[in-house]
Homo-oligomer: A and B are copies of this chain.
Amino acid sequence: MVQRKGLCGGSADDPVMSVDLAFGDEELLPAVAQDADSGEVLMVAYVTREALERSRETGEAHYYSRSREELWHKGGSSGHIQRIEEIRVDCDGDAILYIVEQEGGACHTGYGSCFYRTIEGEVVGEAVFDPDAVYE
């Protein structure tokens, strides 16, 4: 089930990327953002090919907003951008990992990470900014 062809050769569909990506029918892949310094998992969102290409071109994380149905430059309005340190791809080419330097906090609730709660509802994350001061 490993796409071994992806381990070596480039992809005719993706001249920019050397690894085959298994975009499904929705043309979206899940993307995890991880803090380069702390290793904290910051968020999970989705990328299109365009979002990935914009991330590589600009060095800042781009996603695709499924609710707004548009390319999403993370931090474009809040200033809480994510500077890309490295982009990784998983074995099957169907998930992306952005290793980033996070400006401010990743979560629009004011927490550093969107994963600030356990499944039991206990808050375990750290609040790093006041969302009312950032979002109108």
Contacts and interface: CB of A to CB of B under 8 A. Distances in A.
A103 interface: no
B109 A17 contact: no
A91 B109 contact: yes
Interface residues of A, number: 44
Q: How many copies does the complex hold?
A: 2
Contact of A88 (B2, B87, B108, B117): B117
Nearest to A52: B119
Q: Is the interface of A mostly helix, strand, loop or mixed?
A: loop
A114 interface: yes
A134 interface: no
A135 to B, nearest CB: 10
B118 A87 contact: yes
A17 B119 CA distance: 6
